[in-house]
């Protein structure tokens, strides 16, 4: 199985090489690597160029935001499976993709997800939050649960059938997409108990009170645009669901 991994980047010259090297160093070699840059001006393009032998597709041009860039990557992808690792993040260990592919093959899954850790912006050895996803139960979505986006790998067939990221969402389009695929269309989903993505803390959805409010409104909106019934309290339950992540410790 071919795995397409997509990195979206804009002006991240200080971190992009770590993301690229985490893909390069995977033990699984049937990987198509796609990098979508939003016309960076800080030296990012030159850094990416130094890894050109390892990148199958590179686009550098203005875009309409994160989800527009992600959709460009999906459009270029030719793999059986698609995953994302963005410029501030890394794939946690060299065997992650190999283990993910084994899970797809052994279970016939459409979606495979694992765990994610958040680390300090400057000291990436300092874990500040642990997202232990747990075994899959479709009804968990009603409580505010979701699969962690950068630790979720999805068959390309689902994008072909059910569409890509909605560009009318500004922060929670990843939630809407996975709700659509996993909850609405009941994609076969399997959990693998490994940490797949390591993410620097401070992403767009948690960057300010305003963004937190917008994100949780879009969570509720995700159900509405998919003609799914849910209590408006989902906008409260989802952030509350995250609280225990700050007290967990990795047991790997």
The set of residues, in sequence order, having a beta carbon less than 8 Å from that of 160 and lying 6+ positions away, is none
Could you tell me how many helices (H) and strands (E) the chain has, helices first? 8, 9
pTM of the predicted structure, to 2 decimals: 0.90
CA distances (Å), 172 to each of 22, 93, 114, 148, 216, in order? Answer: 25, 27, 19, 12, 8
pLDDT band at residue 238 using 50, 70 and 90 as cut-offs:
low
Cα–Cα nearest to 220, from 238, 242, 241: 238
Cα–Cα nearest to 40, from 16, 18, 10: 10
From first CA to last CA, the distance across the chain in angstroms is 27
Q: Cβ of 83: how many Cβ atoms within 10 Å? A: 25
pLDDT tens digits, 148-174 = 999 999 999 999 999 999 999 999 999
Q: Cβ of 154: how many Cβ atoms within 10 Å? A: 25
| pLDDT above 50 (res 102) | yes
Cα angle: 159, vertex 161, 166; to 5 degrees? 50
**What does the pLDDT read at residue 19?**
97
Query: Top-level CATH class of 3-246?
Result: alpha beta
**What does the pLDDT read at residue 121?**
85
Average pLDDT of the residues in 196-201: 93
Average pLDDT of the residues in 39-53: 97
pLDDT tens digits, 103-146 = 999 999 999 999 999 998 888 889 998 999 999 999 999 888 89
**What does the pLDDT read at residue 217?**
87
pLDDT tens digits, 58-93 = 999 999 999 999 999 999 999 999 999 999 999 999
| pLDDT above 80 (res 203) | no
Q: Cβ of 65: how many Cβ atoms within 10 Å? A: 17
Q: Cβ of 237: how many Cβ atoms within 10 Å? A: 16
Please indicate whether residue 9 or residue 247 has the higher confidence score (pLDDT).
9
Q: Which residues pair with 35 in a beta bridge?
A: 7, 58
* Cα-to-chain-centroid distance, residue 39: 21
Average pLDDT of the residues in 185-204: 90
Q: Which percentage of the chain shows pLDDT scores above 90?
A: 77
| pLDDT above 90 (res 241) | no
Q: Which percentage of the chain shows pLDDT scores above 70?
A: 90
Average pLDDT of the residues in 167-188: 96
Mean pLDDT of the chain: 91
Contact 26, 153 (CB under 8 A): no
* Cα-to-chain-centroid distance, residue 234: 21
| pLDDT above 50 (res 250) | no
Contact 31, 1 (CB under 8 A): no
């Amino acid at each position: 199985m071919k795995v397409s991994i997509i990195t979206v980047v804009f002006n991240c010259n200080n971190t992009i090489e770590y993301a690229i090297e985490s893909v390069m160093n995977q033990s699984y070699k049937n990987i198509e690597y796609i990098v979508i840059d939003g016309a960076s001006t800080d030296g990012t393009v030159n850094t990416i160029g130094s890894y050109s032998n390892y990148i199958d597709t590179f686009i550098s041009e203005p875009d309409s935001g994160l989800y527009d860039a992600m959709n460009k990557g999906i459009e270029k992808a030719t793999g059986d499976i698609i995953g994302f690792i963005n410029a501030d993040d890394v794939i946690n260990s060299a065997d992650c993709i190999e283990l993910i592919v084994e899970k797809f093959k052994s279970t016939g899954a459409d979606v495979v997800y694992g765990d994610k850790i958040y680390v300090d912006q400057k000291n990436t050895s300092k874990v500040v939050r642990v997202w232990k996803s747990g075994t899959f139960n479709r009804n968990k979505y009603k409580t505010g649960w979701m699969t962690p986006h950068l630790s979720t790998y999805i068959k390309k067939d689902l994008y072909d059938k059910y569409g890509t990221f909605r560009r009318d969402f500004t922060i929670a389009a990843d939630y809407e997409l996975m709700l659509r695929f996993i909850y609405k269309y009941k994609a076969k989903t399997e959990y693998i108990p490994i940490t797949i993505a390591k993410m620097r803390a401070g992403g767009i959805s948690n960057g300010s009170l305003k963004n937190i409010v917008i994100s949780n409104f879009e969570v509720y909106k995700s159900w509405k645009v998919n003609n799914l019934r849910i209590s408006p309290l989902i906008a409260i339950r989802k952030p509350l669901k995250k609280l225990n992540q700050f007290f967990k410790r990795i047991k790997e």
